[in-house]
Amino acid sequence: MEYTTLGSTGMEVSRICLGCMSFGTSEWRDWVLDEDESREIIERAIDLGINFFDTANMYSLGESERVLGNVLSEYDRDSQVVATKGYFEMDEDNPNSGGLSRKALEQELSNSLSRLGMDTVDLYQIHRWDYETPIEQTLKTLDDIVRRGQSRYVGASSMWAHQFAESLRVSDRDGLERFQTMQNHYNLLYREEEREMLPLCEREGVGVVPWSPLARGYLTRPHEEFEATTRGQTDDYAREHPYFDGGGREVNERVEELAGEYDATMAQIALAWLLDKEWVDAPIVGTTSVQHLEDAVEALDIDLAGSDVAYLEAPYEPVPVSGHE
């Protein structure tokens, strides 16, 4: 396994982060694994040297955190980097179970820690921007969370670059913990983040951990076969992202072509492209298959020629912003 320093934290993480949205309970989404099958993937990830795990309170409404915590409790906690998130409403009867107010964040992190069976997570992330709560309040709350030892670092996820820049400015002005990471939507079929967010992260020394690096499966098989899997048939969010617009089909075909030339899978070519980007620390890969997890780790050995990187990128055209509002 290759490790890298996550942004400016000094903390070392595996270059593949295991996304835990696919673990928890199939009652939440058809394509999510129940505990025993999830365990098999998490254990194999640890065998392969993966030390970085990303979950959220909302994944399987808490079951993802519970399952991850159960498995990790059998291993040395000091060698793991555990990231979770809060923002989305957890209980439709309780409006304070979502958002980034002090009340919501303190309660939700406390619930996350008890499901994980941990006193501390390594990274606590805000899942989206909260237009109802001043960012000063959110940052002060996150700073207190770090002071109390409930999280070592804080991070953010998809938002506009101007919002992220403002957050960093406020935390620097007020002497508060600053966001150390950006978990954003970035892959060969969605590159709008290259305009503003990624250069901002680079300038500010913020670690970048892209979500849906395989475009929720679109980059793992020929586009006409996208609906060949349960997730391909039922994941509505996949259809909402503009993966087939702006040259997406042609990018998909070029990924397939290069997979043949490199004797690799399409997923490996798509991941090798992301891993080649200087501003990416660790893509967050989602999988329900040991074989696919192994593919992801093997992608670290693929060194794409510069001309092939350019060939993969050439058909891309701007698409509407997708992943946040």
Ligand X SMILES: NC(=O)c1ccc[n+]([C@@H]2O[C@H](COP(=O)([O-])OP(=O)(O)OC[C@H]3O[C@@H](n4cnc5c(N)ncnc54)[C@H](OP(=O)(O)O)[C@@H]3O)[C@@H](O)[C@H]2O)c1
Residues near ligand X, by CB under 6 A: 19-22, 54, 127, 157-158, 183, 211-217, 220, 229, 231, 265, 267, 284-289, 292, 295
**Shortest Cβ distance from residue 218 to ligand X (Å)?**
8
**Shortest Cβ distance from residue 276 to ligand X (Å)?**
17
Residues 250, 188: contact at Cβ < 8 Å?
Answer: no
C-beta closer to ligand X: residue 118 or 238? 238
Q: Helix or strand or coil: residue 118?
A: coil
C-beta closer to ligand X: residue 19 or 62? 19
**Shortest Cβ distance from residue 283 to ligand X (Å)?**
8
Which tokens sit at 111? 């619930």
Alpha carbon distance 272, 214 (integer Å): 11
C-beta closer to ligand X: residue 93 or 236? 236
Compute φ and ψ for 156, nearest 5 degrees: -130, 165
**Shortest Cβ distance from residue 215 to ligand X (Å)?**
6
- CA geometry: angle 211, 217, 219, nearest 5 deg: 90
Alpha carbon distance 283, 285 (integer Å): 6
Q: Is 294 exposed, middle or buried (0-12, 13-18, 19+ CB in 10 A)?
A: middle
C-beta closer to ligand X: residue 211 or 279? 211
Torsion of CA 269, 270, 272, 275, to 10 degrees: 180
Task: Determine the longest span between alpha carbons in the chain, in angstroms.
Answer: 54
**Shortest Cβ distance from residue 129 to ligand X (Å)?**
12
**Shortest Cβ distance from residue 173 to ligand X (Å)?**
26
C-beta closer to ligand X: residue 38 or 141? 38
Q: Is 204 exposed, middle or buried (0-12, 13-18, 19+ CB in 10 A)?
A: middle
C-beta closer to ligand X: residue 174 or 183? 183
Residues 54, 18: contact at Cβ < 8 Å?
Answer: yes
DSSP at 278 = T
Please report where in the chains the tokens 């309170």 appear, as a residue.
57
Hey, which residues are catalytic here?
A: 59
Alpha carbon distance 158, 196 (integer Å): 12
C-beta closer to ligand X: residue 263 or 306? 263
Alpha carbon 218 to chain centroid distance? 17
DSSP assignments along 33-66, one per residue? B-HHHHHHHHHHHHHTT--EEE--TTGGGGHHHH
**Shortest Cβ distance from residue 261 to ligand X (Å)?**
17
Q: Helix or strand or coil: residue 4?
A: strand
